[in-house]
Structures are given as C-alpha cells and as structure tokens.
Amino acid sequence: MHDVYVEVFSDNNDSPGFCSSHDGVVGAGETIRLTCDPPQFGRHVRLSRPTTSSERFAVCEMQVFGYRSPQQCSRYVRKVGVRLNPVNFTSFQGETTLPACGNACHGSAGCIGFNYNEGEPCMLVHRHAGFTEDSEWSVFLLQQC
C-alpha cells in the first residue's frame, strides 16, 4: 500500500475535512501513525487513495482515537435576516457550505457564532457589537445546552 489520505466527516453528507496523509510505500507488516493536524471534529473517518490511482488496497487493522469535545452539548441557533456586527472576527476562506462553516467555528477557539450567506466566505465571530438586519444573511449563534 502507498499514498493514503485520511478524511473526517461530521455526517454522511458532509464534505470531508482533510486530516492527514502518508506519501510513499507502507511495507508489509509495517505500522504507520497518522495524526490530524489541525485536529478535526467529526464522527466518520475515510481512508482513501489519490483520485488518479485505480489500485485497490486492503487494510488489516485500523484504530481511530479521539476525545470528547469540551463543548459536549452545544448547538447553533439560527436567526434569519440578521447578521452580527463583529468586533473581532475571522473570515473563513475554505469551503463555504453551512456544515463547513459550523465546523470551522466549532474548531476556532473563542468563536461564538458565524454570519452565513450561501456562496460567501463565512465570518467566524469572536466578539460582536449587536445585530444588523440584512435579508441576505443569517447568523448562527453557538448555544450551550
């Protein structure tokens, strides 16, 4: 086996988050350790080969280790037609799907929510100064259970 990639999903229909890769050959009886950098949030793991490869591969044993998120019980509450006026924010330039924005906020220390407008970069908010009405945007606020 050679050239493998590990991806993590939150749900079956999510786009994967890149976890780690191993370039090169893995010899018979050899063990490799792949660590997600940065850490990923999810519940499904996929081990795959580059799309240019048509070779099949077999894995004899795979162990996945993780830890519980410190926000064990949290959810996003959606407010439609408004957005946060951020004082401190990060513009997330990765994939702009709703699940990707939520995962980015969840993985960003101090993120309290995000402004979302389909097709636009997510705005991960760490501090804000109130709300602004804007029919094209929604805000998702992190709420502890």
pLDDT tens per residue across span 25-73 = 888 888 888 888 767 777 788 888 776 667 777 788 888 887 666 555 6
**pTM as predicted:** 0.49
Give residue 70's pLDDT.
57
Give residue 121's pLDDT.
87
Strand partners, 83: 132
Give residue 136's pLDDT.
92
Give residue 81's pLDDT.
92
Give residue 7's pLDDT.
85
Give residue 133's pLDDT.
93
Specify the DSSP element, H or E, that contains 2: strand 2-9
Which residues of the chain form CATH 3.50.4.10? 74-144
The domain defined by 74-144 carries CATH number 2.60.40.3080: no
Tokens read off for 96: 């702009």
Give residue 110's pLDDT.
84
87 has pLDDT over 80? yes
